[in-house]
Amino acid sequence: MPGFAVFILHTLFPPDVLRPTEVGADVLIALSGGGIAYLLTTRRLWGRLWHGWITTVDHKRIGVMYLIAALVMLFRAGVDALMLRTDLALPGAHVIGAAQYNAVFTTHGTIMVFFMSMPFIFALMNAVVPLMIGARDVAFPRLNAMSLWLFVAGAMLLNVSFVVGGSPNAGWTAYAPLTELAFNPGPGQNFYFLALLIAGIGTTMTGVNFAVTILRMRAPGMTLLKMPMFVWSALATATLILFAFPPLTVALAMSLFDRLFGSSFFTMGHGGMAMMYVNLFWLFGHPEVYILVLPAFGVFSEVVATFSGKAVFGYRTMVLSIVAIMLLAYGTWVHHFFTMGAGPSVNVFFGLSTMLIAIPTGVKIFNWIFTMWGGHIRMTVAMLYQLAFIPTFVVGGATGVLLAAVPADYQLHNSYFLVAHFHNVLIGGTLFGLLSGLYYWWPKMFGRRLDERQGRVAFWLFFVGFWVTFAPQYLLGFMGMTRRMASYPLGLGWHPLNVVSTVGAFVMGAGFLALVYNIAHSLLHGEVDTTGDPWNGRTLEWALASPAPAYNFARIPVVRARDAFWHMKRDGRTLAALRREDLRDLPMARNSPVPFLMGTAFFVLGFGMVFAWWPIAALGGAGIAACLAASTAEPDDEAVLDSHTVAVIEAAAGRLEA
Amino acid sequence: MKTSRFAISRLRDVPSALAPGRGVPAGAGSSDPYVLWRPAGPVAAGELHLLLLAGLAMAAFIVPVLLLYAYVVARYRDRPGHRAPTLPRWRKNAWLESLGFVLPALLLAVVAVPTVRLTYALAKVPTRPRPLVVDVTSLDWKWLFEYPAQGIATVNYVDIPADRPVLFELTANSPMNTFWVPRLGGMEYTMPGRVLPLWLEADRTGTFWGHSGQFSGLAFDAMFFDVRAVRPGAFRRWVAATRAHSPALTLAGYRSLLHAGLAPAERFAAFPARTFPAVRHGFTLRGGMYTTMRPASPAGHSAS
């Protein structure tokens, strides 16, 4: 073989990362990729895939694609977690070894935060926010598709590192100077920086898109204080994204420059200042926590109101709390490094600002409980996640206050107490919230219900598994175990609780399998939702057929009160009885291949930069430029869906008066 | 990327040194694994006290909230024979909503006041008795302790006199770690180019294990060290014996410590000058000199 071929082969598949897991993954990817391609070809589905999904700008389909990505990523990062827990249950056996352990905990955290939670949130926001505010699409449909494909490019780039070139291995926070080339050679860490940079562009555009959509596209009569709580939380999240992602982008780009171009922003020598990376990262990182949890709060506010048969209690204080949390979120980031010697005054300031956040959060907890007071609580799976969330999140929030008490944090920082705390809020808050939303809005997204009995099995496995996994980790923190240890000495008494924690992790893994079975079974055999309103809902998305037609509303509703659909039903005015003469020609955004091609070009650019193969990077850059040019050249008029087609669609859904 | 592949293969040899059970710190002999509950000095005791207080305050929030929650769910659960009065239109109540503000605020005040006091208190090193100064440098993946007044140095363990405050001055000549001895008190980062102060004190003799709390690479999990607190007389004898019988740490020896890898516990009668960045001079990972070392933060030495 010629020398350069050997070089390329060794760079893409370095001998030291050709472990059984990696080779196995290579084989699986090849087999499943080939299988999917075969099915698509034999069933002649390529065209439908291209026209119906890849080029679509329909927010509902984009939501479905985000959801698929989120579940696949939940699987990947969940398997990572099981590898970590297996290794920790057998210390000294080196089940996966320190080098792989470090890579796997890095990808576990990075994927769970950026490539599982974020797309899951965007899935729900895309699926229902325009429906809830009575809009026909988001403000910028093509930008929305662009966000999706940039996210996919970033996610692919990060995941491909497992089998090509080597994984990043400096933790999801990637503190300098550990990410410096001298300490972290190889392309692995470049994958991390480029994947997050590319996905971050998409995320920022989503923030812009949803902020504008919510502020500008609400149905007539829906004032800000008549918006559903989930829309409020989506607005807060979009706003947080706008101001939180720039510092992340700066920190990532500077770190990447240190690695690729020999700059010294955060390096150990040459005047680099590693602590500034930490500052910039958490300036993003703390708002990010609320980017992740506020949408879950929004889901819970919808779910608890629907399944208690009551309006959410204290709506105005709920809104006030969300806004307060959103603002305070920017003023607490130093609590992630009280132990970096900032001095007592700085530490005290950030300790107290952190404690302040507990106040609006406490308000919300009380209001959820009072929403149930005097209601008829229906124990659906969506509601079970809500009921599990309250005690779980209360405990997670309380342990957060312990960490905010600065001197206590000196003892708990980076210990397993911290690990347990943030899983407590991110699983008990974000993941339970997202799963609750999944069960709640699934009929709206797919037109079928998820089987409740199977859903209950998955729920109990998740809930019990969660506590068995993380309660012991609080205790391990009191034993002085610190995070990210691939192995530990047996003499410290840490082993038994680690075994318990690992058992819990596998119970959660079983919960995931039950969830997948539930989804697969329900897609094929689930009860079809013919009413569009399976839960006796309160907000406008339930006024539509399930799934909603491409244009959402044949006629934009006029909103007169909060919980608009609830009042419509009470007054006997629903959207189900349309008259033919009310129907108009509807402008529709055109499908476009540009967003997908743009994502592909960004992937090529990122891949080239990871290996510093500049011709490939230049090719990607040229692709991006071409996409921008094509985007400008494309006609910006809208397609028109004529009123007869609308009538046919509405009649098929049984919503047209004869 | 060709050169970097070499570097990876070089580092691959490190974990083989991590045989099971290697590096079990001597301080692990104590039967109670809950080291945070067993403070062995005033700093750890103060921190534990605050932790317990905050824990109690939070319990005072959690317990009533969960009782209320359980009551509401049990009473208003939809089931056959549901007899609870329903209030479908009850959607706001200024008093109850302000309760949601006031209760957390009161409990947080209980935590906040001692938090502020202790944070400021811990930022002041006691001056009597005069603190012992130990300069700590974290390296890949080992700890170097230099005693500037005594002129001796140790690797991976540190002897201190009991009942006397010790001012640890922390820096790194490697990626960041944290210096943590759970039974003596909370942790602080070791960062290249900066010197952070941390004072601890042992109020009894004994061996207490310490560890890094910040991931720093391949063999980070081996970064245990022992702190041995001994009587003042024993400490003086130990210093004298070290000076008399141990080898000196040479510049070459220091450079070899800079190489990524593990090192056994050792002690040295002397250490080369200017290995600690307080003198604004240091070494790169490759054994050369920094051309421009950041000056140590002026606040670094005043225990800000």
- Per-residue pLDDT at A328 exceeds 50: yes
Please give, one letter per residue, the 3-state secondary structure of A369-387: HHHHCCCCECCCHHHHHHH
Q: What percent of chain A has pLDDT over 90?
A: 81
CB contact under 8 A, A7 and B291: no
Report pLDDT for A25. 81
Report pLDDT for B30. 56
SS3 B147: strand
Residues from chain A that touch B196, judged by Cβ atoms under 8 A, are 340-341
For testing contact with chain B, the best of A17, A104, A355 (most B CBs within 10 A): A355
Report pLDDT for B4. 34
Nearest-CB residue to B112 (from A352, A376, A379)? A352
The verdict on whether omega for the bond into residue B141 sits within 30 degrees of 0, i.e. cis, is yes
pLDDT digits (tens, 9 = 90+) for A480-534: 999 999 999 988 999 999 999 999 999 999 999 999 999 999 999 999 998 899 9
- Per-residue pLDDT at A13 exceeds 90: no
- Per-residue pLDDT at B2 exceeds 60: no
Q: What is the average per-residue pLDDT within B178-196?
A: 93
Task: Say how far apart CA A370 and CA B100 lie, in whole Å.
Answer: 11
Residue B215 contacts A where some CB pair is shorter than 8 Å = yes
Å from A424 to nearest chain B CA? 15
Report pLDDT for A237. 97
Lowest mean pLDDT among A231-240, A315-324, B92-101: B92-101
Enumerate residues 132 to 161 of chain B having a beta carbon within 8 A of any beta carbon in chain A.
140
Please give, one letter per residue, the 3-state secondary structure of A538-555: CCHHHHCCCCCCCCCCCC
**Banded pLDDT at B24 (limits 50, 70, 90):** low
Residue A246 contacts B where some CB pair is shorter than 8 Å = no
**What Rg value do the Cα atoms of chain A yield, rounded?**
25
Which CATH number, 3.30.70.120, 2.60.130.10, 3.50.50.60, 2.60.40.420, labels domain B132-279? Answer: 2.60.40.420
Q: What is the average per-residue pLDDT within B112-121?
A: 93
Q: What is the average per-residue pLDDT within B56-62?
A: 95
Handedness of CA A516, A521, A524, A525 (dihedral sign): negative
**Banded pLDDT at A620 (limits 50, 70, 90):** very high
Average pLDDT over chain A reads: 93
Lowest mean pLDDT among A173-177, A291-295, B3-7: B3-7
**Banded pLDDT at B282 (limits 50, 70, 90):** very low
Residue of higher predicted confidence among A271 and A56: A56
pLDDT digits (tens, 9 = 90+) for A64-93: 999 999 999 999 999 999 999 999 999 878
Report pLDDT for B26. 57
- Per-residue pLDDT at B161 exceeds 90: yes
Residue of higher predicted confidence among A635 and A561: A561
Task: Say how far apart CA A496 and CA A510 lie, in whole Å.
Answer: 22
**Banded pLDDT at B265 (limits 50, 70, 90):** very high
The verdict on whether omega for the bond into residue A177 sits within 30 degrees of 0, i.e. cis, is yes
Q: What is the average per-residue pLDDT within A566-574?
A: 87
Q: What is the average per-residue pLDDT within B41-59?
A: 96
Q: Are B210 and B142 in contact (CB under 8 A)?
A: no
Tokens, residue B14: 């490190």
pLDDT digits (tens, 9 = 90+) for A375-400: 989 999 999 999 999 999 999 999 99
Residues of chain B with CATH 2.60.40.420: 132-279
ipTM of the complex, rounded to two decimals: 0.92
CB contact under 8 A, B292 and A270: yes
Lowest mean pLDDT among A527-541, A576-590, B267-281: B267-281
pLDDT digits (tens, 9 = 90+) for A412-449: 999 999 999 999 999 999 999 999 999 999 999 999 99
Average pLDDT over chain B reads: 82
Report pLDDT for B25. 59
Task: Say how far apart CA B116 and CA A499 lie, in whole Å.
Answer: 38
Residue of higher predicted confidence among A10 and A177: A177
